[in-house]
Chains A and B, each alone.
Chain A
Amino acid sequence: MVIISDASMEVTEEKNKYSIIVPTYNERLNIALIIYLIFKHLSNVNFEVIVVDDGSPDGTQDIVKQLQQVYGEDRILLRARPRKLGLGTAYMHGLKHASGNFIVIMDADLSHHPKYLPSFIRRQMETGASIVTGTRYVKGGGVHGWNLMRKLTSRGANVLAHTLLWPGVSDLTGSFRLYRKSVLEDVIRSCVSKGYVFQMEMIVRASRKGYHIEEVPITFVDRVYGSSKLGGSEIVEYLKGLVYLLVTT
């Protein structure tokens, strides 16, 4: 087991900079909360937050500007886009403006809690991994806010994906990840899917390319599940995505 003392943690952290890309759409309240929590939990780390807002009509960008007054415009970058243009392109857009050598992607709706960011960073430093992905499905992780049906579809989808793809990670659709910048640039170039299939494609392609991937347990509090039910069309999309990944990766 590698033990990183506090002293060496500070020394190595000075050389690494973490760019946290947060795509937002109508997250006026959540973006303020999440930025507070990020700054609270990463007080010893050199990082920047890149908010990629897709023209939210609820004033998310105004809130970000207020936050920039509090934390500094060099720590919070607002790189907005005119309208909803998709998650994959949001990451690529954020990447262009990222000055760190590591990129973290996370959701803005507080389902991903910033308190896990230090564990991502620590695992990467301990193992030298290229990608550290959060997993909800192992001991120490977990989900709250899912009913039995939702858990069943999640588990069924997981077993199916593992049988077909042999991905090497336990949580394929998770989007709370830390990437080495060069690795993210390489992987994102070859991905074409949308939505959560995009997240699956990223990690499967990275696994096929032989990148060192580590997992850390995270907890996932789903507060929006009630409004986004899993319907038949989503299941069809998922199956199509699986077949696409099976054949092209």
Chain B
Amino acid sequence: MKHIIKIMSLLVSVSAFWISLLLTSIIPESYTLLLPIYLIVSLGCYGLLMVGIGLMRFPTCPYESVLLQQDIVEAKEFLKENEVDVGSD
């Protein structure tokens, strides 16, 4: 099944649930009408939270740069010995 169909059916079922809430008046109508807005706002907040958490926990590796420099030196030595032209660019 295509992904968009999955998303659409999810949206349709949520809308159906919301409309049924409106029609059966389990919750007072004034609240029910605001539910979609609450949902969107909470989704937005959740998204921002995930971005923030991800940013705080972003894995970094400064030591890798050092290791890479060492590897480059080692590589250049080998290549020089084997007559590969490694003049700087």
Contact = CB atoms under 8 A, between A and B. Distances in A.
Given A145-B65, A158-B54, A221-B64, A36 B59 contact: no
B62 A66 contact: no
Interface in B68-89: 68, 71-72, 74-76, 78-79, 82-86, 88-89
B65 A143 contact: no
Contact of B58 (A58, A151, A165): A151
Q: Is the interface of B mostly helix, strand, loop or mixed?
A: helix
B44 to A, nearest CB: 11
Interface string A162-182: 011110000000000000000
Contacts of B7: 164, 246
A151 B2 contact: no
Contact of B76 (A33, A144, A155, A166): A33
Interface stretch (A8-16, A91-99, A133-141, A225-233): A133-141
A141 B88 contact: no
A78 to B, nearest CB: 14
Contacts of A141: 59, 61
A224 interface: no
A87 interface: no
B60 interface: yes
A221 B68 contact: yes
A219 interface: yes
Among B3, B50, B79, B86, max chain A CB count under 10 A is at B3
Interface in B35-58: 47, 50-51, 54-55, 58
B88 A165 contact: no
A155 B62 CA distance: 19
Contact of A28 (B55, B64, B71, B89): B89
B5 to A, nearest CB: 10
Contacts of B61: 141-144, 219, 221
B86 A29 contact: yes
Contacts of B74: 36
Given A29-B89, A37-B75, A221-B65, A159 B54 contact: yes
A247 B4 contact: yes
Nearest to A156: B51
Interface in A225-249: 246-249
A144 B86 contact: no
A143 B4 contact: no
Contacts of A33: 71-72, 75-76, 79
Contact of B3 (A28, A152, A208): A208
Given A151-B55, A151-B58, A37 B47 contact: no
Given A32-B75, A70-B84, 12 more contacts: A33-B72, A58-B89, A62-B85, A139-B59, A140-B59, A142-B64, A144-B62, A155-B51, A166-B3, A221-B64, A221-B68, A247-B4
